[in-house]
């Protein structure tokens, strides 16, 4: 195994926590009223919020500008509406992209009267501000490759991925127990967020909700069937 130059693990239980009547949210990095100078993101990755939203509730219409915003639905359904005229319900396994550009307003709510929705909300700062707002979504399930990384977002939109406004890539990772892989060497900086299962990264065990920032080359080994997001960053 190639050894990474540095590794920093962010344990799930050490994340910032927001709990209100309709939202249970765990913040991997500083967010809202939660702030720590050593946890303001990693490279261009600024937010990973692990959200559970109660039935019939959600985030009311609010504005964003100059931010690349992604949502991955882990379970349940999420209804999206925005000022560009987009409106649809995305389900478990779907990945949503919105580039706020010069400015956009949107809402995200749980349309189910009974079932909670569990999602990851992700923000990446763009290479430069502005640009025309844009939206896209995709079901990852038919795209996933076994024991491999599936490219979801990239600067050029290669391999059918979302073309985003930052020199970064987002991969969905799926590994069966005992399998391993090594990310490509094009990017030196990586951040992994484990969605489910158990991984070993440079000798450190990861559990669901854990994150790890890695500089340099490294390999990922699955201790059990696992799913994760991998961010490769400039």
Same domain for 58 and 114, yes or no, is yes
pLDDT one-digit tens code per residue, 112-168? 999 999 999 999 999 999 999 999 999 999 999 999 999 999 999 999 999 999 999
Q: With 0.85 as the threshold, say if the pTM is over it.
A: yes
Q: Are 198 and 222 in contact (CB under 8 A)?
A: yes
- What is the per-residue pLDDT across 157-203, written as a single tens digit (0 to 9) for each? 999 999 999 999 999 999 999 999 999 889 999 999 999 999 999 88
Say what the pLDDT of residue 1 is.
Answer: 41
- The rounded distance, in Å, linking the Cα atoms of 185 and 206 is 22
Q: Structure tokens of 91? A: 């389900």
Q: For residue 186, give the nearest of 233, 118, 125 by alpha carbon.
A: 233
Domain end among 141, 163, 183: 141
Task: Mark whether 80 and 125 lie in a shared domain.
Answer: yes
Number of domains within the chain: 2
Question: What does the pLDDT look like over 197-224, one tens digit per residue?
Answer: 999 998 899 999 999 999 999 999 999 9
Q: What is the CATH number of the domain that holds 171?
A: 2.60.120.10
Q: Which domain holds residue 218?
A: 142-233
Residue where one domain finishes, among candidates 109, 141, 173: 141
- Asked whether residue 173 is domain-assigned, the answer is yes
Whether residue 32 is found in the same domain as residue 119: yes
Among 108, 141, 174, the domain boundary falls at 141
């Amino acid at each position: 195994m190639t050894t990474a130059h540095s590794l920093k693990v962010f344990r799930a239980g050490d994340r910032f926590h927001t709990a209100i009547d309709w939202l249970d949210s765990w913040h991997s990095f500083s967010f809202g009223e939660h702030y720590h100078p050593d946890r303001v993101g990693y490279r261009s990755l600024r937010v990973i919020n692990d959200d559970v939203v109660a039935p019939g509730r959600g985030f009311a219409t609010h504005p964003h500008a100059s931010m690349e915003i992604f949502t991955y639905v882990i379970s349940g359904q999420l209804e999206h509406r925005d000022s560009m005229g987009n409106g649809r319900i995305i389900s478990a396994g779907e990945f949503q992209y919105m580039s706020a550009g010069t400015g956009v307003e949107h809402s995200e709510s749980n349309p189910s009267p009974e079932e909670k929705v569990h999602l990851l909300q992700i923000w990446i700062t763009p290479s430069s501000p502005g640009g025309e707002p844009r939206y896209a979504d995709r079901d990852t399930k038919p795209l996933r490759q076994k024991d491999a990384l599936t490219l979801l977002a990239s600067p050029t939109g290669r391999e059918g991925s979302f073309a985003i406004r930052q020199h970064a890539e987002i991969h969905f990772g799926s590994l069966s127990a005992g399998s391993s892989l090594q990310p490509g060497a094009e990017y030196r900086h990586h951040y992994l967020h484990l969605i489910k299962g158990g991984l070993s990264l440079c000798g450190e065990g990861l559990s669901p909700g854990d994150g790890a920032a890695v500089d340099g080359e490294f390999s990922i080994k699955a201790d059990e069937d696992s799913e994760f997001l991998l961010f490769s960053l400039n």
